[in-house]
A and B are shown apart, each in its own frame.
Chain A
Amino acid sequence: NAGVTQTPKFRVLKTGQSMTLLCAQDMNHEYMYWYRQDPGMGLRLIHYSVGEGTTAKGEVPDGYNVSRLKKQNFLLGLESAAPSQTSVYFCASSGASGRAGYNEQFFGPGTRLTVL
């Protein structure tokens, strides 16, 4: 099993350009997440999904959009990139947990994005 994979691994954009980051998981997980990681700020949740066709905003959703058309894929889009979006982006997935709260998250290898 590949686990959680992310495409691309690196990307450089100019201000105003758009791009889509792809996350795929082969563990049949219901929940998927997108985080950004900046120095000294830990992991901040951008958007998440608790099932195919559903998405929800996280802590820092502005400037990003997501789609979950297939259970195994979670796409993160930047419509008009800004230098403030320079970061490392991690996708993660976890099994559904119901009333037990969340479960262990499995992370992808990350995408390093630079916006000039």
Chain B
Amino acid sequence: GENVEQHPSTLSVQEGDSAVIKCTYSDSASNYFPWYKQELGKRPQLIIDIRSNVGEKKDQRIAVTLNKTAKHFSLHITETQPEDSAVYFCAAKLSFGAGTTVTVRA
């Protein structure tokens, strides 16, 4: 099966700075890599995803990069804002990372 590791588990950034979360996966057959955001007490919601035929995807302040050779993918959030504070999960196939709690300091 698939095994996904996510780092760091917590991340505190100053408002306006960038945040980077990295995930590694084990199954080279995995070809879909989503990122979900979960606010406190809410359900996870997709914020960005990437398929294995591209190396990078951007959507306004968020971007995801994929390195299939090294089997890792990363979430990049630029110009962080207080509303970016949440738990972020990566996934590969049906396995999720343990999550990263991001806190944006005003």
- The reply to whether B32 and A103 form a contact with Cβ atoms under 8 Å apart is yes
- The reply to whether B43 and A90 form a contact with Cβ atoms under 8 Å apart is yes
- The reply to whether B51 and A100 form a contact with Cβ atoms under 8 Å apart is yes
Interface of B is mostly: loop
The residue on A at minimum CB distance from B34 is A104
- The reply to whether B89 and A102 form a contact with Cβ atoms under 8 Å apart is no
> With an 8 A cutoff between CB atoms, is B14 at the interface?
no
> With an 8 A cutoff between CB atoms, is A42 at the interface?
yes
Q: Interface readout for A82-116 with B: 1 if CB under 8 Å, 0 if not?
A: 00000000100000010011111101111000000
Q: Interface readout for A54-82 with B: 1 if CB under 8 Å, 0 if not?
A: 00001100000000000000000000000
- Which of B68-76, B78-86, B96-104 lines the interface with chain A? B96-104
Tally A-B pairs: CB < 8 A.
Answer: 52
- The reply to whether A42 and B97 form a contact with Cβ atoms under 8 Å apart is yes
Contacts of A40 in B (CB 8 A): 9, 98-99
> With an 8 A cutoff between CB atoms, is A43 at the interface?
yes
Interface of A is mostly: loop
- The reply to whether B1 and A59 form a contact with Cβ atoms under 8 Å apart is yes
Residue of A59, A100, A105 with most chain B CB atoms under a 10 A cut-off: A105
Q: For residue B21, give the distance in angstroms from its CB to the closest CB of chain A.
A: 13
**CA–CA, A93 to B101, complex, Å?**
25
Interface residues of B (CB under 8 A from A): 1, 6, 9, 30-32, 34, 36, 42-46, 49, 51-52, 89, 93-99
Q: Report 16 cross-chain contacts, Cβ distance below 8 Å, ordered by A residue.
A: A33-B94, A40-B9, A42-B96, A43-B89, A44-B96, A48-B94, A100-B51, A101-B31, A102-B32, A103-B32, A104-B34, A104-B49, A105-B34, A105-B44, A107-B43, A108-B43
Given contacts A41-B98, A101-B51, could you give 16 more A-B pairs where the C-beta distance is less than 8 Å?
Answer: A40-B98, A40-B99, A42-B96, A42-B97, A43-B89, A43-B96, A97-B32, A100-B31, A100-B32, A101-B31, A102-B94, A103-B32, A104-B34, A105-B44, A109-B43, A110-B43
